Structure 1
Amino acid sequence: MPRRTPPPSQATAATVHAYDFRRPTTLAREHSRVLELAFETFARQWGTQLTANVRTRSQATFHQVNMHTYDEYAASLPASTTMVLCRIGDEAEKAVIQFPAVAALTWLSHMLGGTGEHREPERTFTEIEQQLVLALGDDLLDDLRYSLGRVLPADLEFDTIHHNAQFAQAASTSALMIVASFTVECGEQSAPATVAFPADVLLRGLGDANPVVATDRARSLVASQVSLTPVDFAVQLDPVPVTPRAVLDLAVGDLIPLRQPARTPFRVSVDGHVLGRAAVGRTGTRLACTIIDTLETAS
C-alpha cells in the first residue's frame, strides 16, 4: 500500500540550525558526559538547598548542556531577567547564573513566610531583595564548586547582578560558553534557569580530569580494549538432536546416547563459534583441557 503523505497543514516543520564548520561548537562526547553528570548533581543539590532555605518543596531538573557563543546565549534569554555574574579566579570572563526575577521573588516570599504569589511583571530587585538573593546564591556557588570538582580549577565569587541580558557583558560576544539549562520548581511555580561558564575554563579542567585521547590512536585502543574483554570459553561435546517428546519423558536414570566416540577431541568454542579442538586433562585437583589444534576463521 503506498504511503499517504499528510497535507501541508498537517506536516511537521523541521527545525534547521545553522552550523559554522570553521568554528565547531560541539563538545567531545567524553567531556559532555562528565558535564552532564556534574550538572545533574548540581540540580539535585540546588533543589535540596532551595527546599531548606525557603521551607517549601522545591526541585531543580537538569535538561541539557550545550556550547554557544556568548552573543547567541544572551540572545536566547528574555530581555528582562536576572543574571548573576560570578568571577572565576583571575579569569577575565565570568560565569552566569540566570533565572527570572519573578521566580526569585517567589523564593524570597516563601523564605519570609509569605504565600509565594507574585503577579507583578519582571522588575529589578530592591537593595534588600538583592542581598537576600545573594544569600541564596551563596549555597548555589557551594553546590557548583562541589558538583564540578576538578573541572572547575578556580574559586567562584559574586560580581554583579544584571536585569537585562543585552547589557550584561560576562564575556566577549564571540567567546564560547558552556550552557546548562534547568527547570526550577518551588511550590506550584516552575521557572527556566541556566548556568553558563566560559568554555576555555571548563575545557582546561576537563582536559586534566578526563583527557580526550587523540583519534590517531583509536584503532590500537579499541583493539587493546577488545583483547581484555572477558568472554565465555567452552569445551563441548558434539550436539545430539533429540525430539521434544524425548525431552518431556526424561527421568532420573535415563541414558542419552552420544554420537561422539570416546577418543574424539572436544570442541573449543566462544559464543557458539568453534575455534579448535581440545583433550580433557587435569592440572592439580582441577579439570583442564589441552588444545590439540585451532581452526582459522574468516574475520
Structure 2
Amino acid sequence: MSDILSQDEIDRLLQALKSGELSAEEIKREEKKVKVYDFRRPSKFSKEHIRVFDMIHENFARSVSTYLSGRVRTFVSINLASIDQITYEEFIRSLPAPAFIVVFSAPEFAGSAILEMNLELFYTILDLILGGPGIPNVKRPPSEIEISIMRKEIMNILANLAQAWSDVFSFSPTIESIENNPQFVQIAPPSEMVLLVSLFLTIGKTEGFMNVCWPSSLTEPFMDRLSSRNWFKVAKKEQISEKLQKDLLTNLNQMSTVLSAVLGEAILTVREVLELEVGDVIRLKSHKDEDIVVNVQGKPKFLARPGTYKGYRAVRITKIIEPEVEE
C-alpha cells in the first residue's frame, strides 16, 4: 500500500476533521516497529522448524525411555527439556570436562552431529547393565572398556533417533568418534548456528541431561521437509493406515471358514466302486489309534484324535501342521 494519499483521500480527511469525526491524534502515523537482528547470531531455524524438531524429539524421548527401561530393568523417565538456537562455540563452552561426547554421522548427512550424555547418567546406565545398584560415584573419564560396553547402547539410542526422524528424513547413523574433552570436538565453525535439543533423564535417583546438537549446515539440505504441514500429513496417513489394519483384522476375525476332519482315505478303482454293496467294508490307509488330518478351507492345518465331547462327535487337536515353503 502506498504512503502517498490521493487528493480525494486528503479532501475526505479534511472533511472528517472539520465535522469532528476524526481528531488530529487519531491520524498520526504509528511508529514502525524495528526488529533487532544480530549478524553474529543469524537465525537459521524458524519457529515452524523448531516446532517439528520438538515433535520429532518428543517421540525420540518416548522410544529411548522404553528401550532403556528394559535394558536397566528399572523405570527411566525422559522428557524434552528445551530446544535452543545457539552458536557452536557456546555449545562447546557449555559442556563439562570430562564429558561423554559421541560424534555421529550418516551417509545421508552433509556433516556430523553430536550426542552428549552427562557422566553420572553414563555410569548409572553402565552400572545397572552390569548388575550393580546404579549409584554413580565416579568422576574420572570413562575407560576404553567402559566405552566399548556402552557403544552398543549408544548405537541403539541412535537407532531410536533415526526411527523418530524416519517420517521426515531417513538416515542410517554411525558413530564417528567418542571424546571426553569438548575442545577436541570440532564438527562446525565456532560461529555456526546449531539447534541444541536437551532431554532430561531420571534413572532411579540419578538425574541429568542428554543433549543432541544439530548444526545448521547439516540440516540445511532437508530443511524444506521440516514443516508442520508435512508432519501432520504423515501423521494422518499413519492414523488412516492403523485404522485400515484394525478394520481388516476385525473383518478377518468375523469371516467363516470350512473346517473338516478326514477320518481316513482309500483308493478304489471305478469297477470296485460300482461293485460296492450294503455291508461291504472299505479298508482305509489309517489305523484307529492314529491321528487324523483336519483341513481348513480344504488345506491340511492340524492333526487330531477323533472322539466325543458332551454327546457330540469331536476331535482333539494334537499338532499344528507347518506350511510347506516353496523353494
Is the alpha carbon distance of 1:78 and 1:100 closer, same or farther for their aligned partners in structure 2, counting shifts above 3 Å? same
Distance in 2, matches of 1:116 and 1:19, equals 47
Does 2:55 align with 1:55? no
Distance in 1, matches of 2:170 and 2:38, equals 30
Structure having the higher helix fraction is 2
Distance in 1, matches of 2:56 and 2:108, equals 23
Distance in 1, matches of 2:201 and 2:100, equals 14
Q: Corresponding residue for 1:167?
A: 184
Q: Which amino acid aligns with 1:119?
A: N
Q: Corresponding residue for 1:292?
A: none
CA shift, 1:210, in A, is 2.4
Aligned structure 1 segments of 4 or more residues deviating by more than 4 angstroms: none
Q: Corresponding residue for 1:176?
A: 193
Does 2:175 align with 1:158? yes
Post-superposition CA distance 1:162-198 (Å, at most 9, x none): 1111221222222222110111111111111211122
Q: Corresponding residue for 2:207?
A: 190
Q: Corresponding residue for 1:106?
A: 124
- The alignment yields a C-alpha RMSD, in angstroms, of 2.2
Distance in 2, matches of 1:62 and 1:21, equals 29
Does 2:118 align with 1:96? no
Post-superposition CA distance 1:47-90 (Å, at most 9, x none): 11111111111111101212222111111111321101102326
Which deviates the most, 195-204 or 154-163?
195-204
Instruction: Tell me the TM-score normalised to structure 2 length.
Output: 0.55
Q: Corresponding residue for 2:242?
A: none
Contact 1:150 1:205 in 2 (8 A): no
Is the alpha carbon distance of 1:92 and 1:31 closer, same or farther for their aligned partners in structure 2, counting shifts above 3 Å? closer
Is the alpha carbon distance of 1:161 and 1:136 closer, same or farther for their aligned partners in structure 2, counting shifts above 3 Å? same
Q: Corresponding residue for 1:288?
A: none
Contact 1:177 1:197 in 2 (8 A): yes
Post-superposition CA distance 1:68-118 (Å, at most 9, x none): 221111111113211011023264631111012232111011111101112
Q: Which amino acid aligns with 1:69?
A: T
Does 2:38 align with 1:20? yes
Post-superposition CA distance 1:1-43 (Å, at most 9, x none): xxxxxxxxxxxxxxxxx97246422521211111100011111
CA shift, 1:156, in A, is 1.3
> 1:123-272, aligned counterparts within 5 Å?
123-210=140-227
Contact 1:46 1:59 in 2 (8 A): no
Contact 1:77 1:165 in 2 (8 A): yes
Contact 1:67 1:176 in 2 (8 A): yes
Q: Corresponding residue for 2:100?
A: 82
- The secondary structure found in structure 2 opposite 1:65 is strand
Distance in 1, matches of 2:50 and 2:208, equals 24
What is the identity percentage for the equivalent residue pairs of Structure 1 and Structure 2?
27
Distance in 2, matches of 1:173 and 1:192, equals 23
Number of equivalent positions: 194
Contact 2:103 2:178 in 1 (8 A): yes
Q: Corresponding residue for 1:220?
A: none
Distance in 2, matches of 1:21 and 1:146, equals 35
Contact 2:69 2:75 in 1 (8 A): yes
- The secondary structure found in structure 2 opposite 1:134 is helix
Unaligned runs of 5+ in 2: 1-35, 230-327
Distance in 1, matches of 2:40 and 2:188, equals 21
Is the alpha carbon distance of 1:33 and 1:90 closer, same or farther for their aligned partners in structure 2, counting shifts above 3 Å? closer
Contact 2:52 2:226 in 1 (8 A): no
Which among 49, 52, 60 is matched to residue 34 of structure 1? 52
